Amino acid sequence: MENIETIKETRSWRSLLAWSAIWIGLIALLVLLAIGLRRTQQGPVVRGEKAPDFVFTSFDGQVWDSKDLAGKVIVLNIWASWCKPCEQEAADLQTAWEIYQEREDIIFLGLDYVDTEREAMAYLEKFRITYPNGPDLGQEIYEDFRANGVPETYIIDQSGTLAYVKIGPFNNLAEIMAAIDPLLPD
C-alpha cells in the first residue's frame, strides 16, 4: 500500500512540475509576443526623438560607436544587397559621401541588413561605396531604430537627435544634400 501511495505522490509532483513548466513557458511566450506587438505598434523612430545608441563593426574591422561620434552629423543608411530600391540610391549616397568626406563634422555609415558578407561585399564593390559599412549582426540596430524595411536612412544631428528619417530610397543627390546641409555649419 505504501508503495502505491508513494508512486501516486511522485506522479502527482511530476505532473505538477510539468504543468508549472508549461504555464511558465506559455507566460514567457505571451510576454515576448506583447513586446514584439508593442514595438510594431510604435512604428519607426521619428524626427525629434533621441536616436538610439548603436555599435557595430565594419567589414574592415573598425568599431563604430555612436557615442564616440557625438558632435558629428551621422548619416546611417540601412541597406541589403538583395534590395532593389537600395540600388536606386547607392550611387547618390556614395556621391554625397564624396562631397562631404573631407569635413570633420559628418560621417556616413552603412548598415547591411540580413545578408551574407560575400553578397554585401559584392554590392559595395558594384556601387564603389567607400564610406564605412558593416553587418547588423542579430539585427539589433535595425530593431532599435524600429525599422520596417530597407532602405531606410536616419540622419542624426550633432546632439544625437534624429533630424531626418527617410523610409525608402532617396530620389536623387539633391534630396540627400537638402536633408544634410541645414545641419552643417557653413
pLDDT digits (tens, 9 = 90+) for 61-107: 999 999 999 999 999 999 999 999 999 999 999 999 999 999 999 99
CATH for 55-183 (3.40.980.10, 3.40.30.10, 3.40.350.10, 3.40.50.150)? 3.40.30.10
Cell of 141: 540596430
Using 50, 70 and 90 to split pLDDT, how confident is the model at 50?
very high
Q: Which residues contact 126 (CB under 8 A, 6 or more apart)?
A: none
What is the structure's pLDDT at 16?
73
Q: Helix 173-180 and helix 84-100: axis angle, to 10°? A: 50
Q: Which residues contact 35 (CB under 8 A, 6 or more apart)?
A: none
DSSP string, 55-96: EEE-TTS-EEEGGGGTTSEEEEEEE-TT-HHHHHHHHHHHHH
